[in-house]
Amino acid sequence: MAYWLMKSEPSVSGIEHLKAMPKQRDHWEGVRNYQARNMMRDQMKIGDLAFFYHSNCPVPGIVGVIEIVKEGYPDPKAFDPQSKYFDSKSDPENPRWFVVDVQLQKMFDEVISLQELRAQHVLADMWILRRGSRLSITPVTAAEWKYIIKMIKS
């Protein structure tokens, strides 16, 4: 079983949006980066857990835990000309973009902020904390996962 961190902008689709969905479940749409695509298409497995990260907002940080409940399949929005995620170069016969389905497992009472994460020296090598890191889906090690889980404020 693997661990991940998945970024989303709360103004576009934050954890509250997922919480409001039927069964608190939704597909993770709109990823248009090949590295992140490859992870969704090839590596994410049912039962994997991911941190839900809010980016580009007043207090960026980890706001909850989600579980992968359906493995990679073509992103339907890439074929929908009405969608902002439409990609004319994505051929249904050979899809370019993929999604996974996720389900909310835990929403934290308080955000574990980027600032707090940066203050933990043991997390210095974490992907999200590396300089210039922009990738929207990144792997998390088991050690990082365990450490961050202990930072949840109850």
Q: Kindly state the smallest distance separating residue 53's Cβ from DNA, in Å.
A: 7
List interacting residues with DNA (CB under 7 A): 7, 9, 32-35, 55-57, 60, 114-115, 118, 131-136
Rounded Cα distance between 92 and 8, Å, is 26
Helix (H) or strand (E) holding 131: none
Q: Which is nearer to DNA, 131 or 150 (CB)?
A: 131
Dihedral sign for Cα atoms in the order 35, 4, 135, 69: positive
How far the first Cα of the chain sits from its last, in Å, is 26
Output DSSP code: residue 52.
E
Q: Which is nearer to DNA, 69 or 90 (CB)?
A: 90
Q: Kindly state the smallest distance separating residue 1's Cβ from DNA, in Å.
A: 24
Q: Which is nearer to DNA, 46 or 124 (CB)?
A: 124
Q: Kindly state the smallest distance separating residue 80's Cβ from DNA, in Å.
A: 18
